[in-house]
Amino acid sequence: MKYYLTTPIYYVNAAPHIGHAYTTLAADTVKRLKTMQGYSVVLTTGTDEHGQKVERSATAMGKTPAEFATIISNEFRTEWDRLGINYDHFIRTTDPKHHETVRWLFQRCLDNGYIYKGSYTGQYCVSDEAYVNDAKPGDNCPTCGRPTETVTEENYFFKLSVFADRLLEHYEQNPDFIQPEARRNEVLSFVRGGLQDLSISRTTIKWGIPLDGDHVAYVWFDALINYISAIGGPKILEGDLWPADLHLVGKEILRFHGVFWPAFLMAAELALPKRIFAHGWLLFENDKMSKSRGNIVRAEPIREVMGCEALRYFLFREIVFGQDGGFSYDALVNRYNSELANGLGNLASRTLTMIRQYRDGVIPAHSPEVSSLAEAASKAIEQTTRAFDGLEFSRGLEAIWVMLSAADKFIVEQAPWKLAKAGDASRQQLDDALYASAELLRVAVALLHPILPESTVQIWAQLGMTSPLPTFDIRSLAWGQLTAGQPIGMVSPVFPRIDAKSAIDRMRALEEVETARQAKLLGKPVAPPVEAAEPPAGELLPPSPKIEFDDFARVDLRVGVVLSAERVKGADKLLHLKVDIAEPEPRTIVAGIALAYEPEKLIGRKIVIVANLHPRKLRGIESNGMIVAASLEGGKPVLAAFLEDVPVGARLK
């Protein structure tokens, strides 16, 4: 089964920002979902590089249009690679194969009688590369608000006016052709109001695809055809990839995709795409992000500070795909900490750590009785699958988090740490609780993979799953497929908590740096940015100031997480701990804290250890480190801790 989907191609008069990333990450999510559903998926993206605006920008920078376009196109390709976009084709409209395809489709429309020569005098918006039919000289563009220019030139015209009835018939017979419903209604209203013939060539500019004589293709006629040139051009007639199964676009370019594009294809006697989905705008402080407003947010600073997974999760959890949605750094960090760190990450850490502690790292066998979590999981599978198929990402994620909440409640009620202390009398109940928690985690990870492709693979491996998650058949996902007796992998935190203030300050500083870099790239003036310090490798937050005491500086203090804890036989005060400090193997540490802490309550807790002490034996156990604790009056130790979470292995300075 084939599935062909596309992003818009992005105009090279601006460098990539979070709005571009939003569409492209959505397409990447759909590709990963469809791959798990058994499809052979092809995703194309690229850059739109022709038009008067590009020509003028290049001239202002002292570059040729081709040189300028290459610089900005490379920015998009680099950004998609950094964000982990799994695209198959990156098409540039300056590619000779695209030129060939544009002329081929133009000729098909011309031969079929839908293109003619005429002359045009009227207003043109250079910023939007669009004719403004109802504007008079001196009027501003109704879309962007910038002044229009009066142009007079000979053009090729496309007979758009004759396609109104055919388009309306297609919309009626294919109600899912344009989505969501509100966008579909906008297109219906526009077409019912009557269509005028459309100029599809320019003679007053040179930077475009030559058609004949002085005519070059109008940028929107040229750009839309990328969806065919990216997968072989005229050769699509010999293959099975066309028509596209899904075009993902922003709502501001829906008219071009929902009206002009299907009309061009009808005229060329080519199949129409199956579905066009127009998402909403990202709003920053209630305004659409745009260059003119100066409120653009870029994805790269977010990726550098919080990682791509945090951005992916926020965009598809916070915003209803298809509607406008707000973005703020505060909301981004809060979602991450509350739902990824405290939610999914905590569930994975608790569940797997208890399996390692109580069942030697092996998935236990469960009784024939169906766990109370089975119903929650089955419901989440059904609801999430339906929602994701409809591109209702936020609704699908909501269903998953309802399931995760049920798991948290289940663990509290079952209290595996108490069952473990009860011994053989509660052995089967403990096995059932641990199995059910791990199985629900497996279901959640499989459902979440299209949204969180990196972290879910990590948790999948920690569960001991050996089959590759990206190609797991999600259609077969059901309760009870986790194999008893399966050894789990090494347990390590996946979503460490992030200090909101430090992270936001750093993202804002990096945003200034990136703004200045992009402005220089585009030849635009900008105020000197505030330089952001590079964080040391492995740390999420900027380093603290260096201290002055050389002796203390030689002490290597590290953050660790307790993987297991048990009493030392014959020693009332000692606990035998396994502590992960991000080394290949956990540290064994013997600590005199047994009178102050129950072993089971330490599991999953973050502590501070001295990591560079010489090992020594206590009660026959070699201790490779020392826990840092304060001694209160009476000698009771209190473990050093943090108000904020920090990554395992981080060094204290």
SS3 581: coil
* Residues whose CB falls within 8 Å of the CB of residue 85, separated by 6 or more in sequence, listed in order: 24, 25, 27, 28, 45
Q: State the Cα–Cα distance between residues 112 and 114, nearest whole angstrom.
A: 6
Q: Which of 543, 537, 458, 454 is nearest to 502 (CA)?
A: 543
pLDDT of amino acid 135: 74
Residues 117-171: tens digit of each pLDDT: 998 787 878 777 677 766 778 788 876 677 888 888 889 999 999 999 999 999 9
Tokens representing 532?
Answer: 């952001």
DSSP at 425: G
pLDDT of amino acid 141: 81
End-to-end CA distance of the chain: 56
- CB contact at 8 A, 446 and 472: yes
DSSP at 140: B
Q: State the Cα–Cα distance between residues 616 and 623, nearest whole angstrom.
A: 5
- CB contact at 8 A, 529 and 515: yes
Tokens representing 394?
Answer: 């936020």
pLDDT of amino acid 537: 43
**Is beta strand 325-326 parallel, antiparallel or unpaired with respect to 282-284?**
parallel
Angle, CA 205 vertex, CA 114 and CA 50 arms, to 5°: 80
Every domain of the chain and the residues it spans: 2-279, 326-543, 550-652
Neighbouring C-beta atoms of residue 520, cutoff 10 Å: 11
CATH fold for domain 2-279: Rossmann fold (3.40.50)
Predicted structure pTM score: 0.78
Q: State the Cα–Cα distance between residues 10 and 137, nearest whole angstrom.
A: 30
- CB contact at 8 A, 491 and 349: yes
Tokens representing 114?
Answer: 């839908």
Burial class of 449 by CB neighbour count within 10 A (0 to 12, 13 to 18, 19+)? buried
Neighbouring C-beta atoms of residue 360, cutoff 10 Å: 11
Tokens representing 158?
Answer: 């496309």
pLDDT of amino acid 285: 57
Q: State the Cα–Cα distance between residues 76 and 10, nearest whole angstrom.
A: 8
pLDDT of amino acid 536: 43
Architecture of domain 326-543: Orthogonal Bundle (1.10)
pLDDT of amino acid 635: 59
DSSP at 540: S
Tokens representing 26?
Answer: 């959505």
Q: Which CATH superfamily is domain 550-652 in?
A: Nucleic acid-binding proteins (2.40.50.140)
pLDDT of amino acid 323: 93
Q: State the Cα–Cα distance between residues 111 and 229, nearest whole angstrom.
A: 20
Helix axes 65-82, 18-36, angle to 10 degrees: 50
Q: State the Cα–Cα distance between residues 92 and 98, nearest whole angstrom.
A: 8
Q: State the Cα–Cα distance between residues 601 and 596, nearest whole angstrom.
A: 11
Q: What are phi and psi of 130, to 5 degrees?
A: -145, 145
Residues 590-610: tens digit of each pLDDT: 988 888 888 877 887 889 999
Angle, CA 588 vertex, CA 538 and CA 570 arms, to 5°: 150
Q: Which of 233, 262, 242, 90 is nearest to 170 (CA)?
A: 262
Tokens representing 571?
Answer: 């020693």
Query: What is the block-wise mean pLDDT of the chain (653 residues), using blocks of 10 residues?
Result: 97 94 98 98 97 90 94 97 97 97 97 93 76 76 78 91 98 97 96 95 91 91 97 92 97 96 98 97 68 73 97 97 93 96 96 96 91 95 98 98 96 94 92 97 98 98 97 97 96 94 95 92 65 43 49 79 83 86 84 85 86 82 87 68 74 81
Token match 């809060």: residue? Answer: 334
Calculate the CA 454 to chain-centre distance: 10
Q: State the Cα–Cα distance between residues 465 and 347, nearest whole angstrom.
A: 17
